[in-house]
């Protein structure tokens, strides 16, 4: 192993222009703060990489590790498998959140390795429940200091040998790919208004019977499509700029995400989660927009729903945090995004001795804000009432560094593109005083940017590479 090597790169105003040089590579990954259009206070860094030296994919009970041309399959817990594959390093550099490690997604259906759930929903995508690459290099763009650095950690000899080629690609002209993205069919939902209403009534029945307090119900939209998914991603990030955008170009699918919600962050063993519960649409009229945010802030229903999930997450964090360290420094804050206002709380803690980021992630997975309460019963009801498995949706996207730091988003406002079909979900939490029309409309409000992307990408009006 060599000491990490840091190479200064020209600062890109738009990191997507730099990532375009490697976006066509298998397992290329882009964790994107949405700059230059993002105005969120915690959107500082973009991280990109490709050419992982190992990959881990999970299909049901089988976890597959591919490394140096060799493939191994195991039935061991995938979180334990991943922990055993990430090397440990003490290297840290100021203002560099990632020096090498794991990047990818943990799909919602990975919960079946944690919880005993029935298998009722249709698995239409047939994609991995988890897809993670282990990367020994990355580019980190810091939008606060307006700097860009390419970092080679030096854990993997193969990546060290490839480093000159990687630097050459990063300094090469932008990709000349001209394959536009277009949808080739109408967008269809897996729930019409009647079937959504039927599922809504069943959840209300379960709540009234004392079975649960809240259930997140989602509908899925899909269309046939063709062309370059990265072009679609660039359009998505312009329609719905968010602090946790991501594009993953994986062998079996492309993931296009513009999530507003952090699942878990670990930095120097300090833990943070920021659950979202409560949504109102934004208005171009400043007075109406301010009224919408105020109504959300004062909504007793949304505050009660948010508090329910805060309590669930406090319990989840306490599984792996020091006793007494779990706090709620902010309750019912308003965060405003491009299309919506959200009610957001912040829960913090400190990892207990002998616990790490993967213990924490497993103990909180999937995030309580997108399941319901109590979590296990809510997931059983989701499996019963949603026609299709969620796949990546409502799982987690992010990184775990060699030094044990982690940052992950919840995969909402997220599309997956595989085998000529592009899919996205949108949902909301249903509680005792929810009304059918408001909850149904909330799913459409949350899906607005994604549906706009698909409608504007229709045949003859596809999304082309930026000129």
Separation CA 18–CA 240 (nearest Å): 20
Let me know the angle formed at the C-alpha of 88 by 85 and 89, rounded to the nearest 5 degrees. Answer: 145
Bond from prior residue into 36 cis (ω within 30 degrees of 0): yes
Phi, psi angles (nearest 5°) of residue 206 = -60, -40
Tell me the DSSP string of 80-133: HHHHHHS-------TT-S-SSEEEEEE-GGGGGGTS-----SB--S---SEEEE
Residue 95 CB contacts under 8 Å (≥ 6 apart), including other chains: 142, 144, 145, 147
Task: Judge whether 298 counts as a catalytic residue.
Answer: no
Residue 174 CB contacts under 8 Å (≥ 6 apart), including other chains: 17, 20, 21
CA nearest to 357, candidates 311, 306, 317, 309 = 317
| Active-site entry in 125, 254, 261, 442 | 261
Task: Judge whether 277 counts as a catalytic residue.
Answer: yes
Let me know the angle formed at the C-alpha of 29 by 181 and 450, rounded to the nearest 5 degrees. Answer: 40
| Active-site entry in 235, 265, 274, 277 | 277
CA nearest to 124, candidates 106, 109, 112 = 109
| Total Cβ atoms within 10 A of residue 31 | 27
Residue whose token pair is 């973009």: 46
> For residue 64, what are the β-bridge partners?
57, 73
Tokens of 284: 């171009």
Tell me the DSSP string of 160-212: HHHHHHHHHHHTSPPP-----BEE-S--EES--HHHHHHHHHHHHHHHHTTS-
Residues assigned a catalytic role: 261, 277
């Amino acid at each position: 192993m060599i000491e990490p090597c840091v190479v200064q790169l020209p600062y890109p105003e738009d990191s997507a222009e730099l990532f375009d040089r490697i976006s066509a590579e298998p397992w290329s990954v882009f964790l994107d703060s949405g700059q230059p259009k993002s105005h969120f206070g915690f959107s500082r860094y973009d991280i990109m990489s490709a050419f992982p030296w190992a990959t881990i994919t999970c299909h049901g009970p089988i976890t597959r590790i591919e490394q140096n041309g060799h493939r191994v399959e195991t039935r061991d817990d995938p979180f334990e498998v991943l922990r055993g594959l990430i090397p440990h390093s003490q290297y840290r550099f100021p203002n560099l959140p990632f020096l090498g490690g794991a990047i990818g997604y943990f799909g919602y259906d990975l919960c079946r390795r944690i919880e005993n759930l029935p298998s009722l929903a249709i698995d239409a995508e047939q994609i991995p429940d988890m897809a993670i690459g282990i990367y020994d290099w990355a580019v980190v763009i810091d939008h606060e200091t307006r700097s860009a650095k390419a970092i080679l950690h030096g854990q993997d000899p193969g990546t060290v040998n490839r480093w000159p080629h990687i630097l050459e690609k990063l300094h090469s002209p932008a990709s000349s790919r001209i394959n536009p993205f277009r949808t080739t069919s109408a967008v269809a939902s897996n729930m019409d208004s009647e079937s959504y209403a039927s599922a809504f009534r069943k959840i209300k029945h379960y709540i009234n019977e004392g079975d649960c307090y809240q259930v997140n119900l989602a509908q899925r939209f899909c269309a046939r499509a063709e062309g370059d998914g990265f072009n679609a991603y660039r359009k998505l990030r312009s329609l719905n700029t968010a602090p946790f955008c991501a594009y993953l170009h994986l062998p079996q699918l492309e993931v296009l995400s513009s999530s507003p919600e952090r699942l878990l962050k670990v930095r120097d063993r300090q833990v943070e989660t920021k659950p979202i519960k409560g949504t109102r649409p934004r208005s171009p009229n400043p007075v109406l927009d301010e009224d919408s945010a105020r109504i959300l802030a004062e909504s007793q229903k949304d505050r009660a729903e948010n508090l329910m999930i805060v309590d669930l997450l406090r319990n989840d964090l306490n599984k792996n945090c020091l006793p007494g360290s779990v706090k709620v420094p902010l309750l019912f804050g308003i965060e405003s995004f491009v299309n919506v206002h959200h009610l957001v709380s912040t829960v913090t803690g400190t990892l207990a001795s002998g616990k790490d980021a993967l213990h924490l992630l497993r103990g909180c997975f999937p995030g309580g804000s997108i399941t319901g309460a109590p979590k296990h019963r809510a997931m059983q009801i989701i499996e019963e009432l949603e026609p299709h498995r969620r796949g990546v949706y409502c799982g987690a996207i992010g990184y775990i560094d060699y030094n044990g730091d982690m940052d992950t988003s919840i995969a909402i406002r997220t599309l997956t593109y595989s085998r000529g079909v592009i899919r996205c979900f949108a949902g909301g939490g249903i509680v005792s005083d929810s009304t059918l029309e408001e909850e149904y409309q909330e799913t459409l409000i949350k899906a607005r940017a994604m549906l706009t992307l698909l409608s504007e990408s229709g045949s003859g009006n596809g999304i082309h590479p930026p000129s």
